[in-house]
Amino acid sequence: MDVRLYTDNTVCHKFKDFYDEFYGGKTGLTFLDIGCGEGPFSKYIEERKNRVVAVDIINELPCTECLMSIRADIFEVDFVPNSFDCVIDNCCLQLFPLDKVVELIQKAKGWLKPGGRFYCKTAAESPYYTRVKSRLSTESNIKKMFNGFKGEYSLFTARLMTGEIASHYIVNMVKYKNGK
């Protein structure tokens, strides 16, 4: 079964590009999908023979051999340090206050293995996100959220299937090797 990652939404192609660059062909890795929703990213990773812990407050994904589905508030869960090769947030954390998100990302830094990556897509100033009233990230927010990580982020603008324009920051950060 091949899972489509909303093929009309080029932002999701950014995730596929990220995945292929850093994890393509690798198996047995462990990912955390924060706010997984219906699970397109979790299923995509699972199909590539990697393990996923998918967390969402309304999670209805079935557990499988490689997918652990947890129905919970991500702010209320905790994991063993150095548990994940990668943590993913696809537009979930943009729904919460910045201070709460900063605290969670710093907590998630401990869940990552040394050299582990954090992939994040978050709303930036654009007509679509102004209309839907998401918290909009700025460059200074990204720096605050990912303090203690190395990596890159870029602004990406795409036309949605509705014809509206949405801008996102695409973040690809790595936990420092020494864990600090």
Lowest mean pLDDT among 45-49, 100-104, 122-126, 139-143: 122-126
pLDDT at 84 over 80: yes
pTM of the model: 0.89
Is-contact 86 109, C-beta < 8 A? no
Task: Please report, for residues 8, 113, 159, the alpha-carbon distance to residue 162 in angstroms, rounded to integers and kept in the order given.
Answer: 10, 39, 8
Q: Is residue 3 part of a domain?
A: no
List of residues 6+ apart from 130 with CB closer than 8 A? 136
- Alpha-carbon distance of 13 to 6, in angstroms, equals 9
Domain range enclosing 57: 10-175
Q: Is residue 1 part of a domain?
A: no
Number of domains in the chain: 1
Q: Is residue 142 part of a domain?
A: yes
As a residue count, the chain comes to 180
Question: Domain containing 16 — which CATH number?
Answer: 3.40.50.150
